[in-house]
Structure 1
Amino acid sequence: MPNVSVSADGGYLTLSEPSRSARFHAIWLRDNAWDAQTRAPGNGQRLITLSDIPRGTRIAAAAIAGSSLRVTFAPEGKSVDYDRDWLFAQSYDHPQDRQAGWTAEGVETWDASLMQSVPCGDFTEVSANPAALQRWLAGVARYGFAKLVNGPVEDGALMKVVELFGYVRETNYGRHFEVRTTVNPTNLAYTGLGLQAHTDNPYRDPVPTVQVLYCLESSAAGGENMVVDGFRAAERLHGEDPEGFGILTRYCARFEYAGEAGVRLRSRRPMIELAPDGEMIAVRFNNRSAAAITDVPFDQMEHYYAAYRRLGEIIDDPAMEVTFRLNPGECFVVDNTRVLHARKGYSGTGTRWLQGCYADKDGLLSRLAALETMEAAE
């Protein structure tokens, strides 16, 4: 049977069930009340500020009421019902000593072994079927990227992909940019040089968090796309050299772009970014856009560069890469805060035409969460 007990001073309660137990403070419970005077019924936004809650709020009484927990607060004399499952889902009563570099629930890091099951969706299906769209977006959220096939072969088709989950983020490159090359073997044997795996636009703050690359022509040999999980690369570095991992998280790199008139973009961020509690939240790696590193102390600079070099070697390791060829009407969506992308070299006759654009992850995750909520309600 469920049970609730209140501490002697009313500062917190303990909610216990046969398989779970958690403590909740009075101020936390009052701040997270869902009654109509505290939260707007339509959108759930708070109607009060913390200063509207009396200082010294305490729990006067608490009792189980079916699937709910009823709590009465003093000095207000206000009673609020809480869904017990909701409370346990929001519980903060657990150890907080996680190792630096942990990843959020639902994030799955990967290496070349993912080549056997690259997350992929069908454009027609995800456009018409919410369940298929949910599965495809869930793949992006879990792995940091996913392909989409059988799309229209038409100029600007990538905008239809972004419309599935969010909005285009316009930059100085425009709403989209062209990646078009004509291979001419009479000049060079390999005119399409490969690119090292990188994240895009690290010189922006904030960076575009989603990138779409859409193929319209692909008749040249080679030019396969490649993705590398930056989180897995950082995990490998941490396993080999915890101090090197730490130094790349503690000190900022600098990135810069000044490739066109009137534009001078600069940012200052760590190559491996952690939240204050140690969660890995971003990787920025782009040698072409790296500016002089000036925020590392003199006595740490050599160690910093050693860790930087090793991270690059891990990223370049073929055991880390997933490679695939995009054909006309195919694209991939990549989490630009996590997954690095690259292009293999290409040669021979033919053309290669891709279009790219940026969007933001908040829209993608919002669409996914809404679809998951809809499924749960059915």
Structure 2
Amino acid sequence: MLTHARIGDEGRTIDLGWKDGSRTRFHAMWLRDNALDDKTRSAGNGQRLITILDIPADTRISAASIKGDALEISFVPEQKTVSFPAAWLSANTYDRGEARRPGWTGEGTARWTKATMQNSVPRAGYPAASRDREVLRQWLSAVKAYGFAVMDDLPIESGALCKVSDLFGYIRETNYGRWFEVRAEVNPNNLAYTNLGLQAHTDNPYRDPVPTLQILSCIENTVEGGESSVVDGFAVAAALQAENPEGFRLLSSCPARFEYAGSSGVRLQAKRPMIELGPDGELICIRFNNRSLAPTVDVPFADMEAYYAAYRRFAELIEDPSFEVTFKLEAGQAFIVDNTRVMHARKAFSGTGKRWLQGCYADKDGLLSTLAAIEHGFKEAAE
């Protein structure tokens, strides 16, 4: 894969050439810090065994050579030689020609709309997912890529949603309990417990950190209406950015405030933007919940009118049917949403019949870890 390795800047950098004609550069300090030898990293878990202060500040590359599918580098003043697989260098390159545009998403994130997703909702049966790692891998991979998925054939019993979270991680308990009931109540303390329709929203934006996954499981559903729907917040944010770049900038740079005080002894508050970007401009989180929005006081007076116009347009796009995917949960079905990305909603339903759902929260790191472990196991088996 590698065609040349040229040391530059008095050993501070190295320029690598590849068979496809591309070139990438690396810094000596970065390479030394990321060395793969057993003196630098634990062979058992890959954790570093040294700190940045253990690396000489004047580290340089004294020699470099291509040996098969690897690059061998010698560092001074340590007099240390380390080998880097070419595939590893290619996978970890940071020498990009152009800066990414704010709002970018990784290759593993697939944005979607009604047109692309309504007839291809990702789903799996619980019995198969619980015994077949390939079925589970496909289902977890769908959650990672699309931000939601449906699970069929769960036991029709209270607490069955825990079986979904047990497939990949742990329930995140909150003031609502280990799980919570979602059905009509008299004088409820939360609109989710009525038969009213709910606008597409993310849950609990008043928490910091926000729960990253939500599971909703159906035990009984004999009402008219009450369909569930999901909206890809990343796709909506991209549409807003294309239409109104300044509005996107305001919603992603000015914090909103959210709060909840619906039950005794609970006062939750958070200050985060509706559209959150990472330091490098990556789109990482959507927070949208009109019920929990507190007064916005962190936007300059000169920008408030434009901010509210952007907020209104964002809400209009979220309500646009072209972004909405709908389905009706039957008893023994559940769906999971990435609560940092996918908004969920519910249509109003009649007072006749019964609609009993249960919900809980979980953490995305557990899901991603389980998925990565399965994929790693499959890769090792193939090798």
Compute the TM-score of the two structures, normalised by the length of structure 1. Answer: 0.96
Q: Secondary structure at the match of 1:192?
A: coil
Q: Give 1:17 deviation, angstroms.
A: 2.3
Letter in 2 for 1:208: P
Q: List aligned pairs for 1:140-155, cutoff 5 A.
A: 140-155=143-158
CA deviation map 1:55-98 (0-9, x unaligned): 11000111112221111100111011111101110001113411
Structure 1 unpaired stretches of 5+: 184-190
**Greater CA deviation, 220-229 or 345-354?**
345-354
Q: List aligned pairs for 1:53-92, cutoff 5 A.
A: 53-92=55-94
Match of residue 54, structure 2, among 49, 52, 55: 52
| 1:207 and 2:215 aligned | no
How many angstroms apart in 1 are the aligned matches of 2:100 and 2:42? 35
Q: Secondary structure at the match of 2:158?
A: coil
Aligned to 2:291: 288
Q: Secondary structure at the match of 1:116?
A: coil
Contact 2:260 2:266 in 1 (8 A): yes
| 1:181 and 2:184 aligned | yes
Aligned to 2:41: 39
Contact 1:182 1:350 in 2 (8 A): no
**Greater CA deviation, 255-264 or 8-17?**
8-17
Contact 2:183 2:195 in 1 (8 A): no
Aligned to 1:364: 367
Contact 1:107 1:143 in 2 (8 A): yes
Letter in 2 for 1:4: A
Q: List aligned pairs for 1:110-121, cutoff 5 A.
A: 110-113=112-115, 114-121=117-124
How many angstroms apart in 2 are the aligned matches of 1:228 and 1:8? 50
Q: List aligned pairs for 1:205-354, cutoff 5 A.
A: 205-347=208-350, 349-354=352-357
Q: Which runs of 4+ in 1 moved over 4 A?
A: none
Q: Give 1:202 deviation, angstroms.
A: 0.3
Letter in 2 for 1:14: D
Aligned to 1:193: 196
How many angstroms apart in 1 are the aligned matches of 2:272 and 2:327? 31
Letter in 2 for 1:180: R
Aligned to 1:5: 6
Q: Give 1:3 deviation, angstroms.
A: 2.0
How many angstroms apart in 2 are the aligned matches of 1:14 and 1:297? 46
How many angstroms apart in 1 are the aligned matches of 2:13 and 2:101? 28
How many angstroms apart in 1 are the aligned matches of 2:69 and 2:243? 49
How many angstroms apart in 2 are the aligned matches of 1:7 and 1:341? 53
Aligned residues: 371
Q: Give 1:345 deviation, angstroms.
A: 0.8
How many angstroms apart in 2 are the aligned matches of 1:192 and 1:53? 62
Aligned to 2:167: 164
How many angstroms apart in 2 are the aligned matches of 1:298 and 1:21? 48
Compute the TM-score of the two structures, normalised by the length of structure 2. Answer: 0.95
Aligned to 2:17: 16
**Greater CA deviation, 367-376 or 15-24?**
15-24
Q: Secondary structure at the match of 1:63?
A: strand
How many angstroms apart in 2 are the aligned matches of 1:229 and 1:80? 45
Q: Give 1:130 deviation, angstroms.
A: 0.7
CA deviation map 1:40-62 (0-9, x unaligned): 11111001001100111000111
Letter in 2 for 1:62: A
How many angstroms apart in 1 are the aligned matches of 2:372 and 2:292? 34
Q: Secondary structure at the match of 1:9?
A: helix
Structure 2 unpaired stretches of 5+: 187-193
CA RMSD of aligned residues (A): 1.3
Letter in 1 for 2:3: P
Q: 1:201 to 1:8 in 2, by over 3 A?
A: closer
